[in-house]
Amino acid sequence: MASLHAGVPVKSSINTVNTRCLSGLSAITQIANEIKAGQIEIGIGAGVESMTNGCGSGTMASVSNKVLTNPGAEGWLLPMGITSKNFIASYNVTHVTNNAFAARCFQNAAATQKFKDEIVPMGAKPVDPKTEEKVLAESDDGIRDSVTPESLGKLTLAFKKDGSRHARDAAVLFTKRSVSASLSSARLSLVPSLVSLPRSGVGPAYAISRALGLLGLSLKDIDSYEIDEAFAN
């Protein structure tokens, strides 16, 4: 229905993927594989997401009780904050180290605004309390250039009193990207890689290693990496 409304011809195939944070990567990988297999000549891997309609406990599907008898399967119902807490504990990442890394990420993102040219300004529903005017969303408003390790150190910890996680070192709702490693716009490798739950936070390391191996490259051959996780470690 949506494809017809968008003007996609009936003779063209279209489908929907839903792998949460990996959806964008899955769509691009599917198009690439179909081109490689000779099934299509050209395709579009694109999507749209509504955090209002697609986020929260109300969107969770029911899970079979038989499936939950498998310890490995049951573990995937753990909230990401808890799995992240367990992950950084296993690697002995201190609260101070975590805050320093998070602050640097905020400062770098605020300085570069790499995706500024890709954002279409839109009038948002919230009203500025000072001017009483509708807010114009034209940049990633979750980024704070004033964030410092010291300011993060004052925040209340979210999951454990002596832990390391709080609201500012978890990704805000606009970050919905997957892992990619690129040397240039002409050379891009997108390789999904899965890890077990206890090590889910280190998934990008496995994916990048595999992507580089397939291309015959090393870590030093890449100019920059983009690694986005809901709870960045």
Domain stops at, among 167, 189, 219: 167
Instruction: Take residue 173 and report the two structure tokens written for it.
Output: 């709702």
Domain that holds residue 8: 1-55
Cβ neighbors of 230 (< 8 A, separation 6 or more) are 21, 80, 84, 170, 171, 175
- Separation of alpha carbons 106 and 145, rounded Å: 6
Residue 66 lies in a domain: no
Residue 50 lies in a domain: yes
Low-confidence ranges of the chain (pLDDT < 50): 173-193, 233
Cβ neighbors of 133 (< 8 A, separation 6 or more) are 127
CB 193 within 8 A of CB 203: yes
Q: Which amino acid is at 168?
A: R
Model pLDDT, residue 172: 54
Q: What are the respective helix, strand and coil percentages of the chain, to the nearest 5?
A: 40, 10, 50
Model pLDDT, residue 185: 36
Residue 176 lies in a domain: no
| Rounded (10°) CA dihedral 93, 97, 98, 104 | -150
Domains in the chain, number: 2
Residue 36 lies in a domain: yes
Model pLDDT, residue 37: 96
Domain stops at, among 114, 133, 167: 167
CB 76 within 8 A of CB 199: no
Using a 10 angstrom Cβ sphere, with 0-12 exposed, 13-18 middle and 19 or more buried, the burial of residue 146 is exposed
pLDDT tens digit sequence for 114-130:
777 888 888 777 677 77
Domain stops at, among 147, 167, 187: 167
Instruction: Take residue 171 and report the two structure tokens written for it.
Output: 């990704």
Residue 27 lies in a domain: yes
pLDDT tens digit sequence for 63-101:
788 887 887 776 677 777 777 777 778 888 888 888 898
